[in-house]
Each structure stands twice: as C-alpha cells, then as structure tokens.
Structure 1
Amino acid sequence: MVVQGRKLHAAAIGFFEIIIYITALGKVVNGLDDPGNLLAYALGFASGNYIGIFIEEKIALGNFAAQVVLKTSKNREVLDSLRNNGFGVTSVQGSGKEGSREILNIALKRKDLDKLKQILYEYDERVFITVSNTKPISGGYFAPKKK
C-alpha cells in the first residue's frame, strides 16, 4: 500500500499492525524465561507474512507495465487478440541478436496479468515478458471498469 501511494489504506493497516505488534512483543518480552514464547512469536510473524502476501496477491491492487518481445510470425494476430481482450498495447520495432523483433508495451491492471500471459502463450510458449509495478500519471488506455 505504501509503495502504491495508497496513504489512507497504509495508515489504517499500519495502525492495527502496530497494535498487534506491540501487544504480541510485550507478551514475548515479559515471558523470556519460556523459549516457547519466542518460538510462537517467530512462527506467528512468519505465518503472518506468508498469509499477508497470499491475500495481497489475490486482491491484486495496482497496475503493471509489461514489455513483451515477440518472436512469432503472428505478430498482427497477437496484437489484435490483446486489443480485443481490453489491453492497451503500443508496438515498436527493435532488433536483437537474432534479428528484428516487435516490442509491445502494455499497461494493465495487476489482476489481468494471468490473462495477458495466457493470450501470449497461445502464440509463443517462449515469449519474453518483463513486468514492473507502475503508477500511471495521466492518459493512456485502460479498459472500462467492470461492474
């Protein structure tokens, strides 16, 4: 939430997180004579991280910027398929070790990443894809929100 600039969400979650942290840490520090307390705290912390990451992946808030290097002869079909599925795609020509390539720049919602990969893998199982978090500033193309 902090990285994505979601100030209110980050503050609210942080408020409850620190209450839990101080309460749990206080019990661990007061019971240092029992190593089980320390072990229980460490296990709770580790499982909290694991569950938190799992939940965050399912919620999938935010946006990605994907760059795709096409190695297929069906570039036009790939572009049409992506655009028909609601992806905004900008295509540029590039050159690599093995010759000319088409490079696609795609802005997408995080929850649509699996759909993007599925479409691309239909045309080329060895397609080169890089993805990074992004925070769009203005303009661009995003499919209308689904209700």
Structure 2
Amino acid sequence: MTLLLQLSLIFFARVLDVSMGTLRMLLIVKGRRLHAAAIGFFEVIIYIVALGWVVNSLDEPLNLFIYALGFAAGNYVGIFLEEKLALGYVCVQVIPSIKSQPIINLLREEGYGVTVIEAIGKNGPKNILNVYSARKNLNKLLFLISELDNAAFTAIMDAKKTVGGYYKQQKAK
C-alpha cells in the first residue's frame, strides 16, 4: 500500500469512527438505545482497524500524527452532523422584556403551544413562557421571538423525552 493511500485510510477511518462516536453518544442521551448500539458496533470495528494500521507501523510517526488529526476532524464533523440532524426536542423558556401577550399570540398563531407561568421578577410581575419545539424548528422559533422582543431573556434546554401535550403541527409538503 502506498504511503499516501495508507495515510488517507487512517485519516478518513478516524474521522468516520469519531463522528459515529459523537452521534452514538447523542443518541444514548436521547434514549435511542438500539440506534446507539448499532452505530457503536460499526464504530468499534473501524476504530480497531485504524488503530491496527498505526500500531503496526509505529516506526512511521506521520501515521500517528494523521491518526490524531483524524480524531480532531472527526469531532468537528460529528458535531456538524448532529447540528444538521437536530434530533429531539427543546424547551425554550422566554421571559419577555415587554408585554408578553403579543409574543404569546404570535407563537400560537404559528402553531406553537405556549404555557404561561406567572412570576415575580426584580421589577415586579413577569410571565415565563414555556415553548416546546422540535430542535429542527429552533431557529425559526427564536426568530419569531426576536421579531417582537429582541431583548427577551431566552433559555434553551434539551428535552430528553416528551409525552403528550401540544407541538407545532408540521405542514405537509
């Protein structure tokens, strides 16, 4: 095997297995055990093959460097893929800096379920708006909120699992 081919295989194998590991961990956190196990099966095979190439040629320091470079790139690619997949749901908690009713009305018109909690802030009564959404719709939701109140305090939390309730209805394409 030529040196360039060997280095390429080490690099891309490492990018693939680390990316798979990133996705596997996220699936574990989201409770998707079967998917995580399937990815883990292939991840470890690729990892052992790539590691074998490096261990069998320890006299070539470039192999070790490329292996580490593949690891770093794999982290980057794994996070990029996870952001594109946007698996699961988020809870967006909004504390408006203005009257909350226009925001509530807009979000409900857009199909989002909004739960309003009355609270007392530093300067008196406030409403806390809880909105659950698919992660893939998060940017749109944040845009809608900022259209009416770009100074609203917004906290975004991952929802590991949700049951029941009301979610934005997906429009058929």
TM-score bracket, normalised by the shorter chain, equals over 0.9
What secondary structure is seen at the aligned counterpart in 2 of 1:2? helix
Measured at CA, do residues 144 and 121 of structure 1 come closer, stay the same or move farther in structure 2, by a change above 3 Å? Answer: closer
Residue 142 of structure 2 corresponds to which residue in structure 1?
117
Alignment of 1:13-92 (within 5 A): 13-73=39-99, 75-92=100-117
5+ residue gaps, structure 1 = none
Kindly indicate whether residue 169 of structure 2 is the aligned counterpart of residue 144 of structure 1: yes
TM-score normalised by L of structure 1: 0.92
2:119 is equivalent to residue 94 of structure 1: yes
Percent sequence identity is 50
Query: Quick one: which amino acid aligns to residue 160 of structure 2?
Result: K
Alignment check: 8 A CA contact 2:30 2:161 kept: no
CA deviations on 1:63-107 (whole Å, 9 max, x unpaired) are 11111111113x211101111112111001111112221100111
Which secondary structure does the structure 2 equivalent of 1:71 belong to?
coil
Give ranges in structure 2 of 5+ residues lacking alignment. 1-26
Give the helix-richer structure, 1 or 2.
2
Runs (4+) off by over 4 Å: none
Structure-2-length-normalised TM-score: 0.79
The alignment covers a number of residue pairs equal to 146
Residue number in structure 1 paired with 2:158? 133
- Residue identity opposite 2:73 in structure 1: S
Equivalence for 1:5:
31
Distance 2:170 2:150 in 1: 30
1:12-59, CA deviations, whole angstroms, 9 ceiling, x for partnerless residues?
211111111111111111122211111101111111111111011111
> SS of 1:143's equivalent?
coil
